[in-house]
Structure 1
Amino acid sequence: MRLPRLARAGLGLLGGLALLSGLPGAPAAAAPAAAAQPPPSIYVEEDFKGATAPEFTGYGSACLTGAPADDSGPTTGVHPLGGCPTPSAAGGPVPPPGADGRGYLQLTDAKTDQSGAALYNQAIPAEDGLVVSFEQWQYGPTAEFQGQIRPADGISFFLVDGAADLDAPGAFGGSLGYAQKNDPAEAVVPGVDQGYVGVGLDVLGNFFNDGEGRGSGCPADQRSPAGTAFPTISSTGPNMVTVRGPGDGLLGYCFLDATYTGEHSDATGWESSLPGRLEGPTTGVSSDPVQAEADLEPSKRTVTVEITPAPDPVLTVWIDFQDGQGPQQVLSRPAPTPVPSTYKFGFAGSTGVWSNVHLIRNVVIGRPAPALSLVKSVPDDLPLPLEAGDEVPYTYTVTNTGNTELDDVTVTDDRLGPIECPRTSLSPGQSVECTGTGTVTEADAERGELTNTATATATHDGQEVGPEEDSLTLPVVRPRPSLTLIKSVPADLPLPLEVGDEVPYTFTVTNTGNTVLEDVTVTDSRLGPVECPQTTLAPGESVRCTGTGTVTEADAARGEVPNTATATAMFDGQEIGPEEDSLTLPVRKTVPGPAFTLIKSVPDDLNLPLEEGDTVEYTYTVTNTGNTVLEDVTVTDSRLGPVECPQTTLAPGESVRCTGTGTVTAEDAARGELPNTATATAVFDGQEVGPEEDSLTLPVRVPEPGARGSITVNKVDAHNGKPLAHAVFELWRETNGVPGLQTRGGNPDTREGSGCATDRAGVCTFGELESGTYYLLETEVPDGFRLPRPPVTGPLTIEGDEHLTERIGNPRGEPCKGKGCKK
């Protein structure tokens, strides 16, 4: 099947090769302009999948399986490419005929003594060099000779001077349609007219030797190491890529190079250095065209041949052996000089006493187009958002997206500097993964994100390729340093105090923020600096510092011991605090008369800071600090109301402990503290004594103002788990009380903010979310993928500063774009 000429010109060579090797697509074609246009990247593009290929001339057994079967078509000489014979047992496992759109160029089937060629008799430019890519199949031998079944012969790709009339190939058999046969005892057949170079993909191995008069008239340094013996197994170079040079008629076509190790055995011939097999393993092909493609896939070999421009041309051959290694360079050597100004080309294949099926597909020929791409990524399971101090493992994937060898591949990160890569040269289609590790800084935390950019470059033929850049931004938790201080005394401390009593104080400092606090210090207004067992606190961590005070005569004169403690800490060079807490304890008065004190307290082991919904057990200690009996003792709490006490009459010095339970409300959480005040009164001689008050304020964890949590989408290819960019999501909040997501009608749920598109790592994050229930609605998918069924993920519940990550896969298929997509 041929693409329309306009479309073919617009693809560019990179796009054409991307169709063959799975490389990323080429940039879109530039719009036509009135000024002179640069030469096209692609000169010829033919996939041979259709029923016709009018730009090519067939020869011999060459035919198209995309055309209807033709048992009476020509099998010798030059002819238009048409249908192939009906498959037969002798012809071997060939593709089914009539498979328009899924066909192949069949040079030969598996019958013996077949020869076929496809010739392109239109000149193409040579001045910029040339890159040729095609797929070839050699498989399915059926012929037995001398008790053996062996694959034969091979496939050749050849170039001739564009000034020649390419109306016929050269000799076949070991000459593979390029070179001559010049053996009067056997046959005299000229080589292809004005041949420039022939690349033999030689399964049997006779293109490697100079038998049958190949290389007649060649100098000694351009003769095959196998000599001229023919036909012998000892002189073959099986599974070999062999290059022969210029020739015309019966002279030339000299041996230039081959993929051989130098090792030789009379029993097996010359040893090949190829890292894989040119012949594929296929032994059967379905009559169904779709299944036939699957049957043939393991035998496909993708071949790329490059010839750089004069004056110092170099010929390089890459082969993808379909083994997961991608294109591998197998041969590189100086190309023949002088280089013609234009080329014509052809493909040929043949069988002899042994046989194979020989197929060609997806031919792309054009000028060299070096290019590369860079993708920077992090692991899919990286916990997000990040925090200051976290290490981030980066992967930098550099891919040769062009059709030439790239050297000196380098990657630089604007934060990490030069990145070390395991290899610095890449063949077309090959990738390398480089790695580096970064650290989240306090500055990143202040910004709320970690952003950096990587740059990749390479060289080809001494010229820089690139630079290509890729940036990645990851969410980072912003710092919220804070602390609380609670000053307390033991619950069983005898009250009231008396002059000379020692009072053990505990000062509890809690890190209520999300950053590490350093240089924690506590100072008491009576005791001075208080020693603490540690001065660094992680988020949520507490330290209990202790100090001892003594009751003085002055305390007794006023009937109480008052003092205040202050706590501070440091974060990122800035002071956090001060936070204060005061505590007043009753002391037996030295002046006679009715008096009492009230101390409101909570347990020493109460977990602080509190959170919404926590219950708090309060103790109200009323102490008769006078020298008279007090009656009708009552305690009232500003939040709890009247508090029940086990007794209401107190002798001098006697105390009663009353209790009550409170609950932390949403209002308390909003202001960050739980305040309340207790009031006590009593009666002496019919007169009210008091009131006495004591207030207590406890820290409550403050929710983030507004939104607090986040939902991060990790979008992947459902087929292979790789990240997908350009998927678009909307976030909806459950607000109408109806289960599930409703986006329309009179009472829909509420959409939160604007949409979010995934980046190259497949990530997008909806941040700063209030507590609640949410749904993710996928509205757009990357090209080549379908929306999941259904496109809604949820319900997803956020509580406080919870951060959720949802991995969502897209099935492959025709893309369905836009908000109105219903496919």
Structure 2
Amino acid sequence: MLLCPLLSGTGPAAAAAGAQQRGPAPAQARTAGTGTLLFSESFQDGAVPDPKLVPLGDACLTGARGAPPAGSSALGPCSSSNGAPGRGGSPGYLQLTDNRTYRSGGIVYNRPLPAASGVVAEFTSYQYGGSGADGISFFLTDGAQQLTRTGAVGAALGYAALKGVDGVPGGYVGIGFDAFGNFHTAGDGLGSGCPARSDTSRVGNAVGLRGPGDGSSGYCYLAGSLNAAGSAGALPGQLRAGSLASAARKTRITVGPGALPTITVEIDFNDGKGYRQVLSHTMTTPAPATYKFGFASSTGLLSDVHLIRSMTVGTVVPLAQLNLVKQIDRGTAQPDSYKTGQSVPYQFVVTNSGTEPVHGLRVDDPGAGPVDCPETDLSAAGSPGATVTCTGTHTVTAADLGGGGTFTNTATATALDASEKPVASNPSSVTVKVEGVAQLRLTKTSDAREPVKPGDRITWTVTAANPAGTSAYTGAKFTDDLSGVLGNADYGNDAAASSGVAAVSGTTLTWTGNVAVGQTVTVTYSTTVKPYGSGNGTMANTVVGPADSKPTGSTGCSPRSAAGDDGRGGPSSGPPRPVRYRRAPDRRRHRTNAPPDRTSTAAAAPSPASRPPAEPVAASSGPCPDPPVPTDGSGRPGDEEDGDAGEADGVGDPVGLALGLGLALGLALTLGLGLGLGLDATALPVTWADTW
């Protein structure tokens, strides 16, 4: 189900109270009731000026004769008028479908309108001329989402999901004026995840209400005009007629103010008795901060002409002269909670409710600056330019985490009237959930002492820490590739973890588990160096952490990576590649202590001649210095490529007499929020003494 929001608004409802406290409000455009006019369109002319009114399917204007003017709605002339008023006739109608079978049409108003003060929509509908199908729907959606399409046709009446076709995006409520009689049914996925219902037989001439939904879920049937048994309609009149002359049905839909509005539907059946209430229901899902609206209709094997005329939308409670609604921009999917470093996208919906234009609009929000407004001049209430949507963002920082898991910021708007007098809006706030970033900080060490010789047992230690001040890390995982180690050493079958599960399969150690705030998990395992002559004389392995993990390092500097790291832990691309060391033997001392060569494409950390048991040391911010040039033990340069110590006699080293053993540790991980693969290679050099 949609719209179980993580935000709260404090704007529109306070607007009326604020206006009363400030004294008499400026002149406002009013609806037929007491509210503020937001939208007005007769559909009787040859064009609709508001470009945010978007036609879909067969929707057209019967009064249009040519293409719509530039800058207006794309609603144009009708290509077919089977049973409908002829093209170019005046006064015209909005035609959703003519009397052909298997047709559909609709319109959506993709401009948000304030919701907290309630809305009243009034229009005249016409269903006539055919065999009675399907009907017309009117719907309201979450105004923070883009509304560019309707839902499924047929029983869904363009609002709900049906037969694998998604419903209207961000739907809040859909009201079906159902001539054919299956809007209330539950077959073919009409209403997903909804309570089971027994009144699912087709009942024509009914009005029904479906609730919130998005995609393929929700859109449950909530209320309608059916009798208690659900077997017959209870309307005091007919929704359709045999001809246009008798088909007019005036309709008034009121969505009350407040978080859980009561929705009422009244219809004038053109019988001289005026409006009569046919439906009332109080919502249990909170209303969004703003609404968008639309109409839809369709025909199937049976058909009718479906027309709309004379529509107005206003509020139930009058707005202040300048009304502001701040909300999360849900044009793209948003998380339930925002982590440090993530941006919160805001919309600022500003409405002029006065009878005169205002100019010089400015929106101020200390936590979301700068705020950009595509227009700063607002026309009089009820006209297309009376409402504008401004945008801004806030990037969550550690300072925002001190509010008990939520962050609230408040915006205000100002403009100038025709006499250059400032007009101030109500304040409007949004609260979002925030949390720190759970992040593994990985460290790799060993207890190797130099010189290392065959039979030595080396204990390897990997730690995964979740520093205090972040959130718990659930479902963490890292792997340690041992393929470059086990050619020269035997695994001790002793992998252990202080928390979670560590296991070796083949040549890969994998750890999985949860890391609480402030916790450090320690994973250990051992290897025993094989006899002289085994393997390739090189040990290299790589630890790969989650995308949001970071290395603390085990050297005093930040090594340059193999794929474009700037030495400061910046992002790079490409797979992790271990640093491999080769050592030149010193025949005079029968041990190798030359520094590593640079035959690898990955740069290595400095190589001290000897090393005490390794301790985790936080990596510095600077790049490592280049390793020294290999020597033959007497200070003369050696041959990096073939391991020759550069002896004057030109005699090469006997193969296998003395092998250098290099230990390389790589931490391959992605830094930041999916911005790329970072490579941080750190090396722990160890020498292997010869005993020949």
TM-score (norm 2): 0.40
From the two aligned structures, give the one with the greater strand fraction: 1
Could you say which structure has the greater relative contact order, defined with CA pairs below 8 angstroms and 6 or more residues apart?
2
